[in-house]
Structure formats: structure tokens, C-alpha cells
Amino acid sequence: MRFRSELDPLRPYIPPKSWRMAAEGTDENRYAKLTSNELAFGPLPEAEAALAEVLPRANRYPDSHVTRLRQVVAEANAGTETRNVLVGNGSSEVLMNVLQLLPVGEVVYPWPSFSLYPMICAVLGMTARPVSLTENHEIPAEALLSAVTDETRAVILCNPNNPSGTYLTLDEVTSLASELPPDVLLILDEAYVEFVDDPTYRDSHTLALGRENVITARTFSKAHGLAGLRVGYGIGPEKIADYAERVRFPVSVNLAAQVAATASMLAQEKVRERAEFVVRERSRLQEAFAGAKLDFIPSQGNFIMVRFEAEDFEKAGVLVREGAALEYPGWSRVTVGDSWENDRVIAALGNETREAEPAAKPQRAS
Ligand SMILES: *Cc1c(COP(=O)(O)O)cnc(C)c1O
């Protein structure tokens, strides 16, 4: 057998330790699991009720065009029509589908960023052109523009950026979009948009509606607490949405994902309250890092990069994403958890040398 040589450098995704523990069924209740930027809370009760209601109909295929969810997403984003909405099996699929629409060429993105980008580029035979974050871990808007050549097909801007947590304001993204050649697609990956505390950023989708070459990709995996169901969406020009629907796997968004995401979007006030909780807790953690004289990167996501070893967090009963996996050796990416989990993160900072047996997490009242 011969394989495409671009695939040789690809390795299977190495998940964080908490995923392996869950797969093995080992006792995970002893740890605060802050590895993957998931929400600490389960789906909203509205989403759970919708799931329970459709399960008896799981013998039937769901709506392959995901019409109801696309309508609800459009209603939640002023100025958006259903025909502007893309959907996918996670926003990962939205990103993949959009890149599949472009002729083979180069894809520019800041780096370090989301590990999926180089992976998708390799699979699609595109050439990745990573551009380093600035010394202050900021997104290098000017350098991104300079990296664009005649071969560039897309710029992927993870905003806020995972793992740095830094972001460009809506004005900055707007000028980046305006300066890009019209045949280069700007893909805004806004997986963490709900945690941006600048209220003027909220309408970022309008950037994608007013132009031919901008799309935004969002997800139900983070603020909505539905990572396990795999559903994401995008907002962009009708033409891109139309083409993306042509390449999407016919029923990639399953029945459970469709109804839970719809119910969660309809309850978006509650999602916003949960995101506000995360933002308050993010400040509390950042103050604790500052108080402990640790380097950290002020974040607009539901995670914070801090110069503190993952091993030392683990000794204190906290699992975080090791910086070495994110090109930040010596650092950790800490997901903002619930109050109990964040207390434990803070306790770990003073605990570096002491090896205590962590207590089990109290069971949450439902
Ligand atoms: C978590 C995350 C996503 C979401 O992926 P899904 O496929 O929707 O679960 C997308 N982009 C970035 C940068 C992320 O961190």
C-alpha cells in the first residue's frame, strides 16, 4: 500500500490524561479535571429535557439540513438569516468543510494555536504557514498580513486564541479583514466568544455578514456545555454556507446534538449567566496567580496559561493541560472550573512541595 506522503508527519491526537482516565474508568473523582476547556456544568435542564424527549425516536434519521437549529442560531444573531448559518459535527467539522471549499494552497494562522489547524491542512494537502505570536503572546495582526502571498487561500484567526487567551478587538479584526485580498478567506474561530468580556465584541458575526470572504465558526462544546454531543455552527456569506452544505457529510449532526443545541440556544440567557460566572472566576484565578508571583497570560477564554508545572498541579489533585503539549514548556493551561475546582487550583499554588492525598470532589446537588 502507498499512502499520501503529506500524511506521514501526522500522529494520532494525544488526549490529556483526564480523557484517558475516563476511558479506562479509573477513579477520576479525586481530581479536578481542567484539561480541555470544557464547561464544569452539565447541559442546561432545557437541553436535557429535549434529549429525553427525542430518544424514543432515535431509530429515525434526523433532519439532514438541521433546519431548526440553523433557524434558532439565525434568530440569536441579529441580521443573520438561516441561509447564512453553517452547521457541523463540532466546529471542527465547520472549519474542515470551509477549508475544503478552497483551491489547494497556503493557510496562514498564528501559532501556538489550536492543534487541529495543522492537522486539517495536512489532510487537505494545504501548506500550513504558522506565524509566531508576539513576545507578549499577542496575535500578530501585521505579521499575519505580511505572510499572505499569492498562494494564500485562508487565514485562520482563533479569537480569543487557544492556548494564549489573547485576542484582537473587533476593530482590529475588522481592519485585518479589510486589508486581506478579497480572494483570501478569513476564518474566525470563535470557540470562546462567550467568554470575551468586551461587550462590543458580541456582534462579531456582523463582520462575516457584510463581506464575501469572512466566516465565523462557533461551538456548543464550550459555554453551552455540550462537548460530548459534537455540534458547532458558523455564520457567513450565503454562498459559503451553500457550498459548505455541499461538502458536509449528509447527516453529520445527529438527532441528540440537534435538539440539545437548539434548546440550549433558545435558553441563551442562562448560557450567558454561566459564562459570566466563568469570567468572574477567571479574574479570581488570575488574581491568585498574580498574588503568587507567577507569570500568566491575561485571558479572554475560559482557560489561563500560567507558568507552573502540570506535575505540581497534579500533586494537588488538579489535572491541567501540560504546556509542553502546547509549545509552552514549563507552563500549564488551566481551564476555569467550578468554585470547588478553582479553590483547589489556588490551593495548589502554595502546595508545590507538599504531596497531599487529594480529597474526593463533593457530589454536586442537581
Ligand atoms: C474547543 C475548540 C473548538 C471546538 O471544537 P468542537 O469541534 O466544536 O468541539 C474549536 N476551536 C478551538 C480553538 C477550540 O479550542
Domain at 300, CATH number: 3.90.1150.10
Residue 31 CA, ligand 1 centroid: distance in Å: 23
In a domain, 355, yes or no: no
262 and 291, same domain (yes or no): no
314 and 250, same domain (yes or no): no
In a domain, 2, yes or no: no
CA distance 164 to 328: 10
Measured from the CA of 301, which atom of ligand 1 is nearest? 15
Per-residue confidence at 94, pLDDT binned at 50, 70, 90?
A: very high
Give the pLDDT of residue 11: 84
78 and 211, same domain (yes or no): yes
- In the chain, the amino acid numbered 339 is S
Give the pLDDT of residue 362: 59
Read off the pLDDT of each residue in 156-185 and give the average, rounded to a whole number: 98
134 and 29, same domain (yes or no): no
Nearest alpha carbon, ligand 1 atom 10: 191
CA distance 52 to 259: 10
Per-residue confidence at 267, pLDDT binned at 50, 70, 90?
A: very high
| Alpha-carbon radius of gyration of the chain | 20
Task: Count structural domains, the chain.
Answer: 2
Note the pLDDT tens digit of each residue in 25-62.
765 678 999 999 999 999 999 999 999 999 999 999 99
CA distance 83 to 70: 8
77 and 226, same domain (yes or no): yes
Per-residue confidence at 361, pLDDT binned at 50, 70, 90?
A: low
Read off the DSSP letter of residue 137: S
Which domain covers residue 16, as residue numbers?
8-37+269-350
In a domain, 359, yes or no: no
Q: Which of 210, 243, 266 is the last residue of a domain?
A: 266
Domain at 235, CATH number: 3.40.640.10
In a domain, 155, yes or no: yes
Q: Which of 266, 299, 331 is the last residue of a domain?
A: 266
Nearest alpha carbon, ligand 1 atom 11: 191
